[in-house]
Chains A and B, each alone.
Chain A
């Protein structure tokens, strides 16, 4: 079983925010304590301290270790993000001002991304005009659509439901309306839709499931 990308991203986030919060509190509290403790009324004569090499080494090395932990956590999650499983279902996505079009292996074309639950999906991302960026906030993944190149991302929907697909790279007038939907269906319902021959299909009755975060 592959590690879950969502959990990995959230883990890196929590580690980073934890370390950050700790450092921020230490810096802020220390500063405030010093301002009160070493106020000119309480401490009229300043001590003549101009440095301490040991201290400076310590506060260089400890943060270095902390950021390396963050780096490795981020890198581990990232490696998983870039390594799509071999059994992934490949869907071609094309961005254009201002809509997404999804094309399946059987040439079926849709403006909504329907996928079967539990199936790893690899999106091959194209653009026909300017830069866009395919963003699935609920799955913590995003990759730019750049004209003249093919980019990719993969994700694995573990629950049925409907999720937002946004465009994250500014692309002009209706950039903020370039939303589409990811609809995760039970396997049989997906294949029922998949094998129906319709040229452009978003007419399927989207089941009334709540958007899951």
Chain B
């Protein structure tokens, strides 16, 4: 099994199938190569959307009413924040961890040679790319770049002359990718677990993907149909959402959030699963409360369906429903909190090796806790009325999504990089990048909490002069954060070409991916392993 001593060893990247070169990649059904195809696409989209965010913050350096020209026009700014949101949400955060790490590692962690439906797996990558291309085409056709915000609220999305129909159709196509990936993962988890791997002997990352999969399958059709109806409304004037045609704008908001709130858990549950993988590896210890973490993933997935109304507390829905949604929102906060306690408790009496991936976990726990706890301000009814649709929400959302899923996307990349590519990276540079990232992150987004409570509404091209100081501080934070991200990514690109060879198990992990060579062979396991103990048990 040792790759160094085996001279004949051919790993998945060296393996030549029917086709060579680029066709070999584009027609591959190897779950690991599909994971890498997603990774390349996703980092590209992330960098594009990050640049848009950078431009938004530059525009915020001064209010447009002051003398001298600003960076961009109001229409451009509106398109930029919409695209920042659409690309980040639909092309990065929602598919991110399952598509890249789920594809690459789920079969290996279960002791399988591939997912249940390898061809459908490749098809879902094509749906993903097709959706992205359609959004790209929409920018240059019809009325130009979409300017509705990533929520596509009607009636504005019905009435704007921008090319909403095509962009929204792109998001519709992306839904297929999401559903097919989920079907594949759920089937794989049900059928391809190695002999002896009972449900409660499954790694927690698989539990996270399993809970996520069910949300993707059950909730995605709702947004698909809703977005199609928006297109129909724009082209045929059917009158479902636009009151001028006899429709109801609140119906749209209900349908949108019936998907998009559970979607928040699509974004975060895989990241939570990843945290539960990384912590036992670096604490050299079994995770604290395995069953509680596993079951709370399912609990979050279920209760997550019932709280969509908390996005609509000022929309005029009934007072009773607002109270119920608020109550349920607090209930769903508990399992997330319990997970955080479990992770920290795992460190008790451990033997902690604080290597780079573990530092990502520490960053995640702090950022995600701030995000989660400020969610309580938004969950409470009277404070919600004040801070909803302000920078407070923007800050909360970025702490949870970017501080949560984003940090773990990079953390996961750092954790599994030696396994995926067989190379080691420079940890000092990585840690420097991470510190810059976390520092910049807090300067950028924490100021937004303050501005939000002071009454700075979101999606504003210009703002009142009293907010300028905080806006400037926030913009400077974005520069620090982006330099951290570029260092983190650059470090890995360097390692890819110049990194030292990685051993099979550089961190001392206990799950199955660490028992096979780095990088893994094409079919993962020569012999399918037989499981006799829990995923994090040592001896």
Contacts and interface: CB of A to CB of B under 8 A. Distances in A.
A and B co-occur in one complex:
yes
Interface of A: 5, 8-9, 12-13, 16-17, 19-20, 23-24, 27-28, 30-31, 34-35, 38-40, 43-52, 55-56, 59-60, 63-64, 67-68, 70-71, 73-82, 129-131, 133, 135, 137-138, 140-144, 146-149, 151, 164, 166-177, 179, 213
B455 A38 contact: no
Contacts of B352: 34-35, 38-40, 43
A48 to B, nearest CB: 7
Contacts, number: 259
B460 to A, nearest CB: 4
Contacts of B341: 27, 56, 59
B526 interface: no
B326 A166 contact: no
B72 interface: no
Contacts of B78: 170, 172-173, 175
Nearest to A148: B243
Contacts of B383: 9, 12-13, 16, 74, 77
Counting chain B residues whose Cβ lies within 8 A of the other chain, the interface size class is 35 or more
Contacts of A46: 283-285, 349-351
Contact of B385 (A59, A60, A140): A140
Interchain residue pairs A-B with the least CB separation, the first 8: A137-B455, A74-B380, A77-B382, A148-B243, A78-B381, A20-B373, A176-B460, A34-B347
B380 A71 contact: yes
B133 interface: no
A34 B244 CA distance: 61
A68 B292 contact: no
A9 B313 CA distance: 15
Nearest to B389: A168
Interface string B73-84: 011001000000
B362 interface: yes
Contacts of A16: 376-377, 380, 383
5 contacts: A9-B383, A28-B366, A70-B376, A147-B244, A175-B461
Contacts of A143: 314, 316, 385
Nearest to A28: B366
Interface stretch (B151-159, B404-412, B434-442): B151-159
Contacts of B315: 144, 146, 151
Given A71-B380, A141-B386, 11 more contacts: A16-B377, A16-B380, A20-B377, A23-B337, A24-B369, A38-B351, A74-B381, A135-B389, A135-B455, A167-B457, A175-B461
